[in-house]
C-alpha cells in the first residue's frame, strides 16, 4: 500500500525521560485545493474575458478540462519563465506536459464519456470547491496518485513520464451506463432525473 503526501509540521516534545516527535502529513490531494481556476486560463490575469469559466457537458470531461487548462496556465512556457531563459531546450521542456510536476491523466476518450452532464462555472475558485459538487452529483471520484520512476507508466500510449509526477484522474463510479455508450447517455440521465421530479 502506498500513501503519498508531505509532512506539514514536525513538533518535538519531552515528558520525563521520553522524547516525542509528532508529524502531521497532508495528502497529495491538497495540491488540488491550491489550483486556482481562472475565469479564462488562456488569458493573462489582467485580461479575464469572459468573466466566468463555463463548461456544459459530461461532468468528467468538464472537470478534466478545468484542471488541465489551469495547469497549462501554471506550468506552460507561455505564462512562466523557463529555468534557463537563454536555453531553447528549457523553453521547449515547459511546453511538454510530461515535464510538469502535476498532470491530468491523458488517457481519455470524450466520445465514450457517459458521466452525467453538468454545468461547471467559476471565477477564481479553487479546483476542489468547484469540482466537489459536480463529482458528487455525477458519482465521479477524483484521484491523485504519485508516479515514481520504476512504476508502470500511467498512460503509455500517450506519454512517458521520467520525473516523479502527481497524476490527477477522474473515475466514473456511478455504476450507470446508458444504451449508446456515448456522452448522450449522461444527458439522458440528467433529463430523466429532472423529469422524475
DSSP 76-142: STTTS--SSTT-HHHHHHHHSGGGSSEEE-----GGG--SPEEEEEESSEEHHHHHHHHHHHHTEEE
User: Does residue 77 contact residue 85 with C-beta atoms inside 8 Å?
Assistant: no
Identify the pLDDT of residue 31: 94
Identify the pLDDT of residue 51: 87
Q: What is the DSSP letter of 139?
A: T
- Can the peptide bond before residue 50 be classed as cis, meaning omega within 30 degrees of 0? yes
| Alpha carbon distance 58, 181 (integer Å) | 12
SS3 38: coil
Identify the pLDDT of residue 121: 95
Q: What is the DSSP letter of 52?
A: S
Identify the pLDDT of residue 77: 62
Q: Tell me the average confidence (pLDDT) per consecutive run of 10 residues in the chain, 197 residues long.
A: 91 94 95 93 82 93 94 79 78 80 86 90 95 94 94 91 94 86 86 82
pTM of the full predicted structure? 0.85
Amino acid at each position: 500500500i502506498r500513501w503519498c503526501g508531505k509532512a506539514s509540521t514536525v513538533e518535538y516534545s519531552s515528558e520525563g525521560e521520553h522524547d516525542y516527535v509528532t508529524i502531521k502529513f497532508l495528502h497529495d490531494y491538497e495540491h488540488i485545493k491550491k489550483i486556482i481556476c481562472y475565469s479564462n486560463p488562456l488569458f493573462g490575469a489582467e485580461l479575464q474575458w469572459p468573466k466566468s469559466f463555463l463548461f456544459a457537458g459530461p461532468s468528467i470531461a468538464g472537470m478534466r478540462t478545468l484542471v488541465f487548462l489551469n495547469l497549462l496556465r501554471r506550468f506552460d512556457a507561455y505564462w512562466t519563465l523557463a529555468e534557463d531563459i537563454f536555453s531553447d531546450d528549457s523553453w521547449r521542456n515547459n511546453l511538454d506536459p510530461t515535464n510538469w510536476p502535476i498532470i491530468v491523466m491523458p488517457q481519455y476518450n470524450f466520445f465514450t464519456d457517459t458521466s452525467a452532464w453538468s454545468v461547471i462555472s467559476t471565477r477564481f475558485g479553487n479546483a476542489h470547491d468547484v469540482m466537489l459538487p459536480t463529482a458528487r452529483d455525477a458519482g465521479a471520484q477524483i484521484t491523485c496518485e504519485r508516479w515514481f520512476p520504476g512504476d508502470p507508466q500511467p498512460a503509455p500510449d500517450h506519454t512517458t513520464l521520467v520525473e516523479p509526477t502527481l497524476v490527477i484522474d477522474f473515475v466514473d463510479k456511478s455504476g450507470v451506463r446508458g444504451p449508446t455508450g456515448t456522452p448522450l447517455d449522461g444527458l439522458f440521465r440528467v433529463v430523466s432525473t429532472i423529469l422524475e421530479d
